[in-house]
Amino acid sequence: FFKGKLPLPVITIQAGFSGKRKSKGWFIKKIWNPKDNNDYENVVSEINLGAEILTWKGKSETPEVAITLLHEMIHQYNFLNGIKDVSENGIHLKKTFGTLAEKSGLVVEYVNEFPRIYTPDLNKEGMDAYKKAKFNEDLLNKFRIYYDENTPVKLKGNPKEDEGKEQKEKKKKLKNLFCPECDRKCYVPNGSEIELICKQCSNDKGEEIFLLENI
């Protein structure tokens, strides 16, 4: 999709959902510099793939590794071309990220919650490109085993879903909301379905800016 013009980043595999970032993967600009910390032009960027996703698959049965990698490559492409595709709060921007993601082979879902854009699978163009790549899926046979607190036993089910259940059980009495434009925060009773808007940002932009839940 990028005609081989993206420079090779450092590819890492680290804890995703079980780590601090709670993500399937991420792109970090200009972070690897083995030679000279002052030589910024030669510093290499990083794409990380969450260790947990190595056995996951999308609805199309495409390995999540391919889906996540393409997602992060789009961030890399935008960075190299000076295009801002994520807000300061981590919200993915529709015009700069969502549009390119759809053109680049990803299924894109727009939602009214953080991070506003999900890419759960490859679209037809993406799957055609994946098949042409002839990736050896046997390479994914070695994968991380999930442990409980005391015994090294592989846990059944999707780790993402398991973690989601745990988080629901530990929900606090108050729900933390924030404005995606100015980062103002407020708290509402947990379970409340009322939608709140930021009056200041709504007035400034002439449109209703809804508060999002900080998950």
Query: What is 179-215 written as a DSSP string?
Result: -TTT--EEEEETT-----B-HHHHHHHTS--B-EE--
Buried b (16+ CB within 10 A) or exposed e, 110-136: eeeebbbbbbebbbeebbeebeeeeee
pLDDT digits (tens, 9 = 90+) for 57-110: 999 999 999 999 999 999 999 999 999 999 988 899 999 999 999 999 999 999
Q: Which two tokens stand for residue 90?
A: 């981590």
Residue type, 44: V
* pLDDT, greater one: 145 or 109: 109
pLDDT digits (tens, 9 = 90+) for 154-180: 444 455 455 555 555 444 577 788 888
pLDDT at site 156: 47
Examine the pLDDT at 145 and tell me if it is beyond 80.
Answer: no
Q: Which two tokens stand for residue 58?
A: 């999308």
Examine the pLDDT at 124 and tell me if it is beyond 90.
Answer: yes
Q: Cis peptide before 189, with omega less than 30 degrees from 0?
A: no
* pLDDT, greater one: 182 or 20: 182
